[in-house]
A and B are shown apart, each in its own frame.
Chain A
Amino acid sequence: MLEYSEKVIEEFMNPKNMGKIEDADGIGKVGNPVCGDVMWIYIKVKDNRIVDIKFQTFGCVAAIATSSKVTQLVMGKTVEEALRITNKAVAEALDGLPPIKMHCSLLAEEGIKAAIEDYMKKQKHKKNKKGGKK
């Protein structure tokens, strides 16, 4: 098996924020089952802040560890702060990843961004709807 840091193993063995948010404000679905990694990120946003976040992941040890780590990194952050999360930050928070697994941290970054984009799109949609009623 690949050489993982203790933090990666710890995160994989005890993942945080695993699951689904039924009434999520934004959902990011990234990855491809053909490549063996799929990450779904659910966020709940209140007053521009991420107040709840959950993930579902099909993937290897590193994919699950990065999913869990990224959700902890952005929990409580403003939308703008969360958008600034980088794959490097996720990997560093796990004491690094084997080079072949760096794409998992990229997936985590993309997952957060996709969830926020989805949230923003829905917000815009809501506003437009409100505008239409006038």
Chain B
Amino acid sequence: MKEIYLDYNATTPVDPRVVEAMIPYLKEHFHNPSSVYSGAKETKKAIEEAREKIASLIGASPKEIIFTGGGSEADNHAIKGVAFAFQEKGKHIITSSIEHHAVLHACQFLEKIGFEVTYLPVDKYGIVHPHSLRKAIRDDTILVTIMMANNEIGTIEPIKELAEVTHEKNVLFHTDAVQAVGKIPVNVKELGVDLLSLSAHKFYGPKGVGALYIRRGVKIHPLIHGGGQERGRRAGTENVAGIVGAGKAAEIAMEEMEEEERKIRPLRDRLERELVKRIPEVIVNGHPEKRLYNTLNICVKYIEGEGMLALLDFYGISASSGSACTSGSLEPSHVLLAIGLPHEIAHGSLRFSFGKYNTDEDVDKVIEVLPGIVERLRAMSPFWREKHEH
């Protein structure tokens, strides 16, 4: 059975052109970029070319980009790097209640060692409002970190306005743009951010490669100490093939992003329309307009997400859920709770996230099987029966 992959926010398949670009750096160009012999020059050059491509994807200059081992490392580097560098100035950090765990858990770690963190609420669409940020900034605030686009519900935050408010008080602003970069235009200068995290495997690059943009003039502490790679800001022999792949993926994203949106948005919109039409009592989560064009997050009332995922998987459809049961905890998604959904509804969430290899047939298949899956699980649910038999 052919897999219908609808979980592109989790990860993407590597574009074949990216694989091609990487192969020489796994084979003949294996040299350590820090070495002095001529063979190493090629690997060093390849890293710098990739850096230029990543920089140009987000409107930065190459010197402002450091490569990391992924999006989570970039987030941790930004947050802990600022915290450790500026703790003399203050120990207060502001973030939102719907961040990725790479941000939330880094903040919680800092709380354990004496920092204070404010978790800003969001509205029912998942938007962080600049006025609530303004009220939260204190004299000892050293960092504001708000994601650009939410991974679960796709809501796009008003980063430019949030960064402006932050800069009025001379505080640094970081954005976790892991879900945004490669999908929508991101320009660090226009947004006015000081730090930005991105991850290659979210836009058809390899896993284990990310980047942190650090605006020129911003000095933060390194996360990983060791050799002098990345101009002393991130030690460790570079993941050359991965970095080359990230660069190639960035180049492709720049050229094809608009075309991808034109292709993907109608698929997502059609699935949303049809599911809402065919399945009673379904809620669509996230902002109606300010939302990633590839993301559809719904809550199907009276049933639980994991059962739906298991049955979808039976038909070869790969999706995800913010239900507790899939995450190994008993609490449903913190994002769905933060937008005000009650627990029992949050447990019934499903996320479909599209990518460039999806087709109309994929959407047809979900439309064909999901209503039956929901009906089957609802037939078992005491709540559905209670509501509809009386």
Partners in one complex: yes
Interface residues of A (CB under 8 A from B): 1-2, 9, 12-13, 15, 18, 20, 29, 33-38, 40, 55-64, 100-101, 103
Chain B contacts for A60, CB-based, 8 A: 304-307, 323, 325
A58/B306 in contact, CB under 8 A: no
Chain B contacts for A101, CB-based, 8 A: 325
Interface residues of B (CB under 8 A from A): 302-307, 309-311, 313-314, 323-326, 328-330, 332, 342-344, 347, 379-383, 385
Chain B contacts for A59, CB-based, 8 A: 304, 307, 325
Chain A contacts for B382, CB-based, 8 A: 29, 38, 40, 56-58
Chain B contacts for A13, CB-based, 8 A: 311, 314
A58/B310 in contact, CB under 8 A: no
A selection of 19 A-B contacts at a CB cut-off of 8 Å is A1-B309, A1-B310, A12-B307, A34-B344, A35-B343, A38-B382, A56-B381, A57-B380, A57-B381, A58-B302, A58-B344, A59-B304, A60-B304, A60-B306, A60-B325, A61-B310, A62-B325, A101-B325, A103-B330
B347/A36 in contact, CB under 8 A: yes
Chain B contacts for A35, CB-based, 8 A: 324, 330, 343
With contacts A36-B344, A57-B382, A64-B380 taken as known, whether A100 is within 8 angstroms of B328 at the C-beta atoms is yes
Which of the residues A9, A33, A38, A61 comes within 8 Å of B325, measured between beta carbons?
A61
* Nearest opposing residue in chain A for B344, CB measure: A33
* Nearest opposing residue in chain A for B384, CB measure: A58
* Nearest opposing residue in chain B for A13, CB measure: B314
Which of the residues B310, B329, B381 comes within 8 Å of A9, measured between beta carbons?
B310
A58/B343 in contact, CB under 8 A: no
* Nearest opposing residue in chain A for B382, CB measure: A56
Chain B contacts for A1, CB-based, 8 A: 306, 309-310, 313, 326
In the assembled complex, the CB of A58 is this many whole angstroms from the nearest CB of chain B, namely 5
A36/B343 in contact, CB under 8 A: yes
B385/A58 in contact, CB under 8 A: no
B310/A33 in contact, CB under 8 A: no
In the assembled complex, the CB of B162 is this many whole angstroms from the nearest CB of chain A, namely 32
Chain B contacts for A62, CB-based, 8 A: 325
A58/B379 in contact, CB under 8 A: no
Chain A contacts for B310, CB-based, 8 A: 1, 9, 12, 61
Chain B contacts for A9, CB-based, 8 A: 310
7 new A-B contacts at CB < 8 Å, known A9-B310, A18-B379, A62-B325: A38-B382, A58-B302, A58-B304, A58-B380, A58-B381, A60-B304, A61-B306
* Nearest opposing residue in chain A for B311, CB measure: A13
* Nearest opposing residue in chain B for A37, CB measure: B304
Which of the residues A37, A58, A61, A63 comes within 8 Å of B383, measured between beta carbons?
A58
Chain A contacts for B304, CB-based, 8 A: 36-37, 58-60, 63
Chain B contacts for A12, CB-based, 8 A: 307, 310
Chain A contacts for B323, CB-based, 8 A: 36, 60
B309/A36 in contact, CB under 8 A: no
Which of the residues B302, B325, B379, B380 comes within 8 Å of A36, measured between beta carbons?
B325
In the assembled complex, the CB of A26 is this many whole angstroms from the nearest CB of chain B, namely 15
In the assembled complex, the Cα of A38 lies from the Cα of B381 at a distance in Å of 9
With contacts A13-B314, A57-B380, A58-B381 taken as known, whether A34 is within 8 angstroms of B343 at the C-beta atoms is yes
In the assembled complex, the Cα of A58 lies from the Cα of B379 at a distance in Å of 10
In the assembled complex, the CB of B27 is this many whole angstroms from the nearest CB of chain A, namely 36
* Nearest opposing residue in chain B for A101, CB measure: B325
Chain B contacts for A20, CB-based, 8 A: 385
With contacts A12-B307, A57-B380, A58-B302 taken as known, whether A36 is within 8 angstroms of B313 at the C-beta atoms is no
Query: 5 shortest A-B CB distances, which residue pairs?
Result: A60-B325, A33-B344, A56-B382, A60-B306, A34-B343
With contacts A1-B306, A58-B303, A58-B382 taken as known, whether A33 is within 8 angstroms of B328 at the C-beta atoms is no
B383/A33 in contact, CB under 8 A: yes
A64/B328 in contact, CB under 8 A: no
In the assembled complex, the Cα of A15 lies from the Cα of B305 at a distance in Å of 17
* Nearest opposing residue in chain A for B324, CB measure: A36
* Nearest opposing residue in chain A for B309, CB measure: A1
